[in-house]
Amino acid sequence: MALQRPKGTNDLLPDGSPKLEAFARASAHEWLIGKARGVLERAGAQRIDTPVFEEAELVKRGVGGSTDIVRKEMFTVYYFGDHGGYVLRPEGTASIVRAYLENGLKQLPAPLKLWTSGPMFRAERHQKGRYRQFHQVDYEVLGSADPLVDAEAIALMVDVVRALGLRGVHVKLGSIGDPEDRERYNAYLRELFTPHEARLSDDSRERLARNPMRILDSKSAGDQELLQDIGVRPMLDFLGEEAGAHFAQVQDYLKDWGVGFEIDPSIVRGLDYYRRTAWELHAEGIGAKSALGGGGRYDGLSEGLGGGAVPGIGWAFGIERLLLAVEQEGIELPRAGGPQLYLVALDEENVPLAARLAAQARAYLRAEFAYRALKPGSAFKDAERRGAVWVGLIGSEEAAQGTLSLKNMQTGEQRTLAQSELGSLTPPNG
Ligand code: AMP
């Protein structure tokens, strides 16, 4: 059998490919990133790009040693004679904060808004909506702890979703407090779970020792059943005064701007560096993998990476997830158009002329040419298959007179055009 792509990865394919799903359409990815870029750049965000592999230590410190991502899902990169100290990035935030510290971006006016888009890698059990290489759009704001920045980040996420035309999307908002609040909550959870230790999954027994909050996030059905049985108080009950006031302000801003949200006390983001505001966006009807994206404040991250104190907040959308939701809502995706002008020579000696004229016409239009001479009937069939708008035939007569015989495949209109007048051709639908 021919070689196949690695499990859990997708080829992003051209339009018209057989059995093509939206999340694997290269043009759909481009479209989505373009919409997100529009929203984010109008709000003052600038593009940043970091390597797709990083020092393992950065990811370990940035994402947190007790997370599933670091413990089970890292792709390690080796090259000849290497120590294997690199990993493919599982998310964008740690890299962006590293780049901010390393390149002196602190000198730019704060808060600094950055965005990026690209592939992320996690060795997860793959299924629809969950891949080992997936793509994200990320937005990060560095240098401000103001709740106004939190509210704006959430509102921008909602703006992106709206720009895509999605309607059935909910914002679930929570707060995971400050580190001392979490310590109190973890102490409470440890006390609560210890008598039930025998019922916990192996993973959660380990979590009980390291970071009990993570048990709430467990994917194990047995753990979830136990949670139901014993009734756990939410993190929100444990917010300290400052984190509580911050959370209230974020909500006030969102209400003021008419950005809908619901409080979800169960939000426990899987990443260690989060502080205070945490949220997720969910879509109706795409099943268990309904999280389109999530974000949170991470004021402790910069110091964790060995930099000074730099408050930060950010979010990431999963592009494939968004495209699943777009498909689910029946939103029509723009398709790559066929040639606006398709030039066909009727005899072999005029093929180079068709090529030359197509090259000239590309100053104004999407123009292609047939690499072999065709008879008019075949030329029209070929043009139709390619989705061409205008077909320009060049026979010996047209070559001698410096003209083209044009036919509009959409309207049936036919006329003769001087080759020197190609610039006057304005196709319908741009
Ligand atoms: P996270 O960095 O875990 O908060 O993920 C942010 C978003 O990226 C999620 O809400 C998903 O939309 C998407 N995402 C995360 N992991 C995967 C994956 N393995 N496959 C596809 N999308 C993912």
Residue nearest to atom 2 of ligand 1 (CA): 91
Inform me whether the pLDDT recorded for 421 exceeds 70: yes
Best CA proximity match to 153, nearest among 298, 3, 360, 346:
298
Could you tell me the distance, in angstroms and rounded to a whole number, from the CA of residue 90 to the centre of ligand 1? 9
In the predicted model, is pLDDT for residue 206 greater than 90?
no
Does the annotation place 401 within a ligand binding site? no
Mean pLDDT of 331-359: 93
What's the gap in Å between 9 CA and the centre of ligand 1? 14
Q: What is the average pLDDT score of the chain? A: 91
Q: 282 C-alpha vs ligand 1 centroid, how far in Å?
A: 12
Backbone φ, ψ for residue 196 (5° rounding): -105, 15
Range with lowest mean pLDDT among 182-186, 205-209, 323-327, 398-402:
205-209
| Residue 211 CA to ligand 1 centre (angstroms) | 22
Domains belonging to the chain, first-starting first, are: 22-177+239-328 (3.30.930.10), 341-425 (3.40.50.800)
Atom of ligand 1 nearest to the CA of 69: 3
Band of pLDDT at residue 270, cut at 50, 70 and 90:
low
How many CB atoms lie under 10 A from the CB of residue 240?
Answer: 15
Which residue owns the Cα nearest ligand 1 atom 21? 130
Q: Which is the closest atom of ligand 1 to the Cα of 90?
A: 2
Residue 272 pLDDT class (50, 70, 90 cuts): low
Give residue-wise pLDDT tens across range 53-99.
999 999 988 888 777 888 889 999 888 777 768 999 999 999 999 99
pLDDT given for residue 143 in this prediction: 97
Q: Provide the pLDDT for residue 420.
A: 92
Q: Cα–Cα distance between 297 and 84 in angstroms, integer?
A: 31
Residues with beta carbon inside 6 Å of ligand 1? 91, 122, 124, 130-131, 134, 136, 291-294, 316, 318, 320-321
Alpha-carbon gap, residue 257 to 251, rounded angstroms = 10
* 228 annotated as a binding-site residue: no
pLDDT of 383 > 80? The answer is yes
Task: Please tell me whether the overall predicted TM-score, pTM, comes out greater than 0.85 for this model.
Answer: yes
pLDDT of residue 274: 82
Closest listed residue to residue 317, CA positions, set 9, 29, 24, 5: 29
- Smallest CA separation from ligand 1 atom 18, residue: 130
- Would you say the C-alpha torsion 361, 363, 367, 372 has a positive or negative sign? positive
288: confidence class by pLDDT, cuts 50, 70, 90? low
Q: Is 92 annotated in some ligand binding site?
A: yes
Are residues 173 and 263 in contact, defined by beta-carbon separation less than 8 angstroms? yes
Residue 102 counted as an annotated binding residue: no
Instruction: Please give the pLDDT value at position 336.
Output: 77
% of the chain at pLDDT higher than 70: 97
Cα 376 to Cα 196, 345, 349, 357, 368, distances in angstroms: 80, 9, 16, 18, 16
How many whole angstroms from 397 Cα to the centroid of ligand 1? 60
Atom of ligand 1 nearest to the CA of 280: 10
- Among 131-135, 199-203, 210-214, which stretch is predicted with the lowest mean pLDDT? 210-214
Using pLDDT thresholds of 50, 70 and 90, give the confidence band for residue 430.
very low
Report the nearest-CA residue for atom 8 of ligand 1. Answer: 318
* % of residues, the chain, pLDDT over 90: 70
Most ligand 1 atoms within 8 A of CB, residue of 130, 160, 171, 290 to mutate: 130
Residue 107 confidence (pLDDT): 95
Q: Summarize pLDDT for 12-52 with one digit per residue, the tens.
A: 999 888 888 889 999 999 999 999 999 999 999 999 999 99
